[in-house]
Amino acid sequence: MQIKENPKEYDVIIVGSGAGGGMATKVLSEAGLSVAIVEAGPYYDPANPDQMTQMKWPYDSPRRGAGTTRPFGDFDQAYGGWDIEGEPYSQVGDTQFRWFISRMLGGRTKHWGRISLRFGPDDFRKKSIDGLGEDWPISYDDIKPYYDKVDKLIGVFGSKENLPNDPDGFFLPPPKPRLHELFYIKGARKSNVKVMPSRLSILTKRINNDRGVCFYCNQCARSCMSYADFSSGSCLIFPAQKSGGQIDMFVNAMVRTVTTNEEGKATGVSYIDKTDKTEHKLKGKVVVLAASACSSARILLNSKSKQHPNGLGNSSDIVGKYLHDSTGGGRMAFIPDLMDRKIYNEDGVGGMHVYSPWWLDNKKLNFPRGYHIEVWGGMGAPSYGTGFNVNDFNKFFGIPVGGYGDVLRKDMRKYYGSLVGMDGRGESIAMKSNYCEIDPNQVDEFGVPTLRFNYKWSEHEVNQAKHMQDTFEEVIHNMGATALGNKADKSSNFGLTKPGEIIHEVGTTRMGNDPKSSVVNEFEQLHDVSNVFVVDAGPFVSQADKNPTWTIMALAWRSSDYIIEQFKKQNF
Amino acid sequence: MDRRDSIKSIMLGSIGFGVLFEGCVTGISSEDVKKTISKFQYGRTDKELAYDKKLFSIQCFSKKEMKSITQLCNLILPPNEFGSIEDAEVPELIEFMAKDIPGYEIPIKDGLLMLDKISKQKNSMVFINCNEIEQKKILDQMAFPDPNMSSSEQKEEVKWFSLMRNLTMTGYYTSKVGIEELGYVGNTPNVWDGVPQDVLDQYGLSYDQDWINKCIDQSKRNETAVWDDQGNLIS
């Protein structure tokens, strides 16, 4: 097969354009380094009318926005999902890991919930606290200056709360709570559950003239045409291009391997142009992997050579191990007080205005790690599914369910906006026995060996999920609402989501000081190969009860500063 | 995954592109497909466009079936001053979804046959030829699920009618006329500054002063953020 080789040698090749890749692109290009971004999906700009889904109406789609082609519906801005045609993955035995991939410029930063939480001091030293998992080789003080810089560069609203393990930052002011959120506040307080303004990377206030200010359409998951929410393209890559960075972008380019030389050093990457399935090579002095925790592990494991027979950076046999996702659980409720409510525009920002950080002491509980609670509800935009089982709530009042005719209109109006939900998102324990590896029997449509997963929750996560359900039930009761459906019990692991479903998977190239038990050092540099870095969530030692994006970016910035320093010292 | 495991994603799940349509016919002219497809502009990818085109180039329900569906939808939601089932293009949506979600086609077709069978037994003619009183008598037998049974335990005709009611309701309330009737007033640029006072009063609620002090002063939203070294916003 003919391989087309690009004659240019880049200072840095960055694989993937999500949170980590975007941040590396910005910091490294602005330091004057020449950068190639290699992205497996197409170019995407939320301001491009041909790609834009923001401000569409359900009837602009022939399926009214149903989730047939995109898992979160037609208007969600992720080109991908848990099951992508041509890109299979498999499981060991009866384990079930669900792998969500978004193939586009910006990756998964296009459609996410913008929940932007710093890890706290305890989150870096959990083993010292409860004996489980491993401590990070860095502390909160090491990463704090970078969190501060990320806050100011990207913008995050929140409030100063002086909590020990949910550190404050440089916040924009949060929006006022919506009506259902006031009900939640009431219920949570009565249940002794801490509740406070949420922390989302959405601009409630201007931070510069390149980005707009939120206009409260509730559609961050569609990616903002005004760049008023964080996504990697809008906030990192486009500004880096605008400020004159030497950036070449390769899209629809699926990286197969990191190439190496006789000394075992990386020389660049090989990739497949997905548009014509041709093979290409790019040369670079440094390779930065930011393809997502599992994709980067896959590239490393597929990069076998004489010098690296077990895959690149895998002399420890740790690549792919310690894979862990957030736990998830949820409950819906119906608020009778909100029947026939007055209708006004309460779209607000794309996500919750209030939330509950972890509020208890695990020493007094039968599970080691915490969770936070997200709240949803309100008079949202109709979309496919609106009006299904329109008057099921009639059963609470002993009146007939179902029927036909004008009574359905009354029921539709009566129950609109009376639903509220809570979702718990918690920390799981990183375990060596939960991993991804190369499936020896399968390749994707480009001929690249695929991943096989082995993942089982432990008692820790199941006990935590049970606690979530008990909490939801109590809060629902205390907010004057009626819980819907049956309470999840032991038979369903207390409603615990399948691993991968929360899309916070981390840990596959974990960092540490010991090359025998970790893949990268504190600067996300492979122990085995000094010119390869991993700046996605792979290096996370533990997950925390916080969403990973803010930490991915703070670490990617810190590692990029280190790369610049090494370039200055002529170490590459 | 955040807040999105809502009712609709629970109901739907993800379905692939490689679907076969057993009962559908092809042969819709490419001109017609082009005309239909141009009505829908929603930022889809080339692959999604090709899939939509494929669905629009086949017809799932016969003219007779479409007539029954339209009649039934009109009984489920009769026209009013806002609009009608036809204005909301509900039959077209049902036709589309029967191809888009493979599990829908056969049950919907079987249900239509069942409806005519029941109608013939009762009135010696198919459903659409019955008068409204006769039609409603038939619907009364299938429109009310038994509250003591789960949805999967209901009688076949009850299950089928629930599906048709769901599709009709969602089709109407996601249409232009249905959204107007419901009164949803969002999806437009605005400035959120809290729950209206009369609504707070109605529920006997108020904002805490110390919470509200932390929130955005919307008169300063366009002033560029500046912080002191401690992270206090000073603009």
B205 backbone φψ class: left, alpha, beta (φ>0; ψ -120 to 50): beta
Q: What are the Cα distances from residue A148, in Å, to A558, B216, B227?
A: 12, 20, 11
Give A60→chain B minimum CA distance, Å.
Answer: 5
Indicate the residue of B56, B97, B225 with minimum beta-carbon distance to A207. B225
Q: What SS3 class is residue A195?
A: coil
**Model pLDDT, residue B97:** 98
Write down the residue that tokens 């409030």 correspond to. Answer: A159
pLDDT higher than 60, residue B17:
no
Q: Does the distance separating the beta carbons of A337 and B215 come in below 8 Å?
A: no
Domains of chain A by residue range: 1-44+79-155+230-314+506-572
Whole-angstrom CA distances from B89 to A74, A247, A469 are: 19, 48, 41
Are β-strands A80-81 and A90-91 bridged in parallel, bridged antiparallel, or unpaired? unpaired
What's residue B28's pLDDT? 84
- Where is average pLDDT lowest: A171-185, A449-463, B21-35, B51-65? B21-35
Identify the pLDDT of residue B11.
Answer: 37
A41-73 exposure pattern, b = at least 16 Cβ within 10 A, e = fewer: bbebbbbeeebbbbebbbbbbbbbbbbbbbbbb
When CB atoms are compared, the residue of A112, A168, A412 closest to B231 is: A168
**Window from A337-346, A453-462, B20-29 with minimum mean pLDDT:** B20-29
Give contacts of B228 with chain A, Cβ < 8 Å. none
Q: Rounded mean pLDDT of A383-402?
A: 94
pLDDT at A210 over 90: yes
- pLDDT at res. B16: 39
In whole angstroms, give the CA distance from residue A16 to residue A14: 6
Say whether pTM exceeds 0.90. Answer: yes
| Partners of residue B9 in chain A, C-beta under 8 Å | 67, 71-73
Q: Which residues of B touch A340 (CB under 8 A)?
A: none
For residue A253, pLDDT over 50 is answered with yes
Whether A82 shows a pLDDT value over 60: the answer reads: yes
Q: Sorting pLDDT into bands at 50, 70 and 90, what band is B84?
A: very high
Question: Which whole-number Å values give the CA distances from A192 to A187, A233, A353, A354, A355, in the listed order?
Answer: 9, 40, 19, 15, 14
Determine, for residues A386 and B173 on separate chains, whether the beta-carbon distance falls below 8 Å: yes
Q: Is A50 on the interface with B (CB under 8 A)?
A: yes
Domain covering A1-44+79-155+230-314+506-572, topology: FAD/NAD(P)-binding domain (3.50.50)
d(CA B16, CA B7): 20
pLDDT at A97: 97
Phi, psi of A426 (to 5 degrees): -125, 175
CA distance A447 to A277: 10
Residues in A touching B52 (Cβ below 8 Å): 62
In eight-state DSSP terms, residue A176 is P
Listed by number, the residues of chain A in 495-554 with a beta carbon closer than 8 Å to a beta carbon of chain B are 497, 501-503
Which regions of A251-342 does DSSP assign to beta strands (E)?
Answer: 253-260, 266-273, 278-289, 327-334
Using one digit for the tens of pLDDT, what is the confidence trace for B129-181?
Answer: 999 999 999 999 999 999 888 888 999 999 999 999 999 999 999 999 999 99
| Beta strands across the sheet bearing A371-377 | A196-197, A354-356, A371-377, A419-426, A327-334, A482-483
User: Is A503 in Cβ contact with B42 (below 8 Å)?
Assistant: no
State the count of interchain CB pairs (< 8 A) between A and B: 312
Write the pLDDT tens digit of every residue in A521-544: 999 999 999 999 999 999 999 999
The string of pLDDT tens digits covering residues A368-380 is 999 999 999 999 9
Tell me which amino acid residue A545 is: D
The two tokens of residue A407 are 């009574």
Q: Structural domain boundaries of chain B? A: 20-182
Mean pLDDT of A376-404: 95
Mutate to test the interface with B, among A162, A326, A334, A404 (most CBs of B within 10 A): A404
Predicted complex ipTM: 0.94
Task: Examine the pLDDT at B12 and tell me if it is beyond 80.
Answer: no
Q: Which residues 322-361 in chain A show a CB within 8 A of chain B?
A: 328, 330, 332, 337, 341-349, 351-352
Closest partner residue to A176 among B158, B193, B232, by Cβ? B193
In which band, very low, low, confident or very high, does the pLDDT at B21 lie, cut at 50, 70 and 90? low
